[in-house]
A and B are shown apart, each in its own frame.
Chain A
Amino acid sequence: MTRVFSLVTLAFFASVPLWLKDPYLLNALITTGIFIIGAMSMNLLLGFTGQLSLGHIAFFGIGAYVSALTSLGYDVPIVGDFHIVHTPWPPIAGFALAVVISGLCGYLVGKLSFRVRGAYFVIVTISFAEVVRLVALNWVELTQGPLALTNIPSITIGLPYLGYLTLKTKLQNYYLVLAVAAVAYFLISRLVHSHYGRAMRGLMENETLAVSVGIDVTKALTLTAIISAAIAGAAGSLYAHYIRIIDPEVFAFISTVTMVIMVVSGGKGSLAGPVVGGVIFGLLPVLLRPVMAPEAQWITYGLVLIAILFVLPRGIVPALAPKLGFGRQPVKPKPVVVTELTAKEHA
């Protein structure tokens, strides 16, 4: 049932460009899609292990910069006459490298902070994002600082029978983002239903018990952080090659907040939550723009958020899915009633 629904949703998103011809809206869908991938990666950490990464945009931004620099090339002086020179590689290699390097950063941050967890993890991730932003701003030889990296090439992919295809148009990029989002969704779904995923959920639900059945807490959390960061890096790479210009503003804290809003409103810990929350809060500003003054837009945005969290505190998907017959039924606390029948059985 859930699988059929996922496929129908995928087919629906695939059909959007067939009836939606407005390039402005298509652009909004592409950037929203990129952020939904980021939100899905954040949900893996927040929803399935309970760890809030408030610097999640760092992994996204690192992915964007790694991918951009790999495909643009650079010539950076290190000491004296010693330079590190890199000639441009194809953007697809940049994408791969973005995934790897972001994943590596996830490993480092996880390894550093999961010894203490909770609030400390939040602080470490915020600091990490800020440090990375300052590096991007000040290491002008590498990143151009506030002057931004420009002319980032579009992604070129090799297709069987079609040869090489450079994804320049909005339509092409829409399908690229949709494909990466679908793969990320599939990967996350496989992961949380695997042996490891059960360890992650067990850890969140009852840590003492999880340790007693032999789960290695630090290992499980670090692995999740690596995968989460790698997916965020993939989203960042897509962003860089679609927008084709990036500056240190990609590390803005507000972007992390947007992802948190997408995850929490949609429902953390549910696979579809970040998608639902992402579509709502990614497209809401775009839909409000033509009908309201700028001040009113943000007030409305805030009111919608408050309304959702007030009415559905666990998020949209966990509240609505059981009513539609999907997913897990919610846990209802059940009073212990010892009737004559059960008493006989217990005795």
Chain B
Amino acid sequence: MLEIRDIVCAYGQVTALKGISLSVKAGQLVALIGANGAGKSTTLRAISGLVPSRSGQMMFDGEDITGVGPQRVLTKGIAHCPEGRRVFPHMTVAENLDMGAYLRTDTSEVAVDRDRIYGEFPRLAERRKQAAGTLSGGEQQMLALGRALMSRPRLVMFDEPSLGLAPNIVERTFAIIRAIRDSGTTVLLVEQNAFAALEMCDHAYLLESGRVVLSGGGAELIANEHVRRAYLGG
């Protein structure tokens, strides 16, 4: 579904990606793991067009999406949930969800999708008129997940969804991400929590200083000696 080859990205003088190649098959949950600064987030940002790539090629469903810009990538069906602050704090829950559908023009269908998300997350429905900044951390995360689905993506990329959340909410977040995959939407997940990511994924890539150093099934990577020592603390 998504095929990227030899992507090179740099921030000024610093080369963040030194030729990344990976592929994501339709219906899979693919995880990118690695240490801080390995290039996981940059890979997602390169795919969604937020940072330009210096060389390499990205294909999505047979179409070249290299350098087409964030809007085109989004309308092709790739949604990106960036790391850091997850919501627009001064907008209401409903407005936040509508922002996820910013580029869509089918207003009535957007309303249907919004109601579907309220159905999945009753807490959001109760708080639909409330400013998103007043929600708890867990509720903000549910809102961010819901918003990512509002563009009706075929591939959704999550960047560090567990960051800064209480353990029980992290667990629930992962359960939702699995459910998103099970409902047929392909997922590309960047996660610090390597063990959890490897456990739930269908395929994983290990990044080290801007390169893919290892790839394989989740169980395969968990069993790998290098991964165990460097990332799983075993």
Q: Which residues of A are at the interface with B, using a C-beta cutoff of 8 A?
A: 195, 198-199, 201-202, 205-206, 208-216, 328-329, 331-334, 336-338, 342-343, 345-347
A328 touches B133 (CB 8 A): no
The distance in angstroms between the C-alpha atoms of A336 and B81, with both chains bound, is 22
Q: Given A209-B82, A329-B131, does the pair A336, B171 have CB atoms closer than 8 Å?
A: no
Chain B residue nearest to A335 (CB atoms) is B136
Q: How many residues of B contact A (CB 8 A)?
A: 39
Q: Which residues of B contact A206 (CB under 8 A)?
A: 85, 87-89
Q: Which residues of A contact B226 (CB under 8 A)?
A: none
Contacts beyond the supplied A212-B50, A214-B71, A336-B138: 17 A-B pairs with Cβ under 8 Å: A208-B50, A208-B85, A211-B50, A212-B70, A212-B80, A212-B81, A213-B151, A214-B74, A214-B75, A215-B102, A328-B90, A329-B131, A331-B90, A331-B131, A331-B134, A336-B137, A338-B166
The 6 nearest A-B residue pairs measured at CB: A331-B133, A214-B103, A214-B74, A205-B88, A336-B136, A212-B80
Q: Kindly state whether residue B210 has any CB partner on chain A within 8 Å.
A: no
Q: Which residues of A contact B102 (CB under 8 A)?
A: 195, 198-199, 202, 213-215
Q: Kindly state whether residue B95 has any CB partner on chain A within 8 Å.
A: yes
Chain B proximity of A221: nearest CB distance (Å): 16
Contact of A205 among B71, B91, B100, B136 (CB under 8 A): B91
A198 touches B95 (CB 8 A): yes
A343 touches B134 (CB 8 A): no
Q: Kindly state whether residue B169 has any CB partner on chain A within 8 Å.
A: yes
Q: Which residues of B contact A328 (CB under 8 A)?
A: 90, 131
A334 touches B134 (CB 8 A): yes
Q: Kindly state whether residue B147 has any CB partner on chain A within 8 Å.
A: yes
A205 touches B123 (CB 8 A): no
Q: Count chain B CB atoms within 10 A of each CB in A209, A329, A331 and give the residue with the most.
A: A209
List, sorted by A's number, 11 A–B pairs whose CB atoms are closer than 8 Å.
Answer: A202-B99, A202-B102, A208-B82, A212-B80, A212-B81, A214-B102, A328-B90, A331-B89, A334-B135, A336-B137, A336-B138
Chain A residue nearest to B150 (CB atoms) is A213
A212 touches B48 (CB 8 A): yes
The distance in angstroms between the C-alpha atoms of A81 and B20, with both chains bound, is 66
Q: Which residues of B contact A333 (CB under 8 A)?
A: 133
The distance in angstroms between the C-alpha atoms of A334 and B138, with both chains bound, is 12
Chain A residue nearest to B100 (CB atoms) is A213
The distance in angstroms between the C-alpha atoms of A114 and B23, with both chains bound, is 36
Q: Given A198-B95, A212-B50, A213-B74, does the pair A346, B172 have CB atoms closer than 8 Å?
A: yes
The distance in angstroms between the C-alpha atoms of A208 and B82, with both chains bound, is 7
Q: Which residues of A contact B84 (CB under 8 A)?
A: 208
Chain A residue nearest to B141 (CB atoms) is A346
Chain A residue nearest to B144 (CB atoms) is A209
Q: Which residues of B contact A213 (CB under 8 A)?
A: 74, 99-100, 102-103, 147, 151
A201 touches B88 (CB 8 A): yes
Q: Kindly state whether residue B13 has any CB partner on chain A within 8 Å.
A: no
Q: Which residues of A contact B191 (CB under 8 A)?
A: none
Chain B proximity of A91: nearest CB distance (Å): 41
Q: Which residues of A contact B147 (CB under 8 A)?
A: 213
Q: Which residues of A contact B113 (CB under 8 A)?
A: none
The distance in angstroms between the C-alpha atoms of A211 and B44, with both chains bound, is 13
Contact of A209 among B88, B95, B136, B169 (CB under 8 A): B88
Interface string of B11-48 (1 = CB under 8 A from A): 00000000000000000000000000000000000001
A347 touches B172 (CB 8 A): yes
Q: Which residues of A contact B80 (CB under 8 A)?
A: 212
Q: Which residues of A contact B87 (CB under 8 A)?
A: 206, 209
Q: Which residues of A contact B168 (CB under 8 A)?
A: 338, 343, 346-347
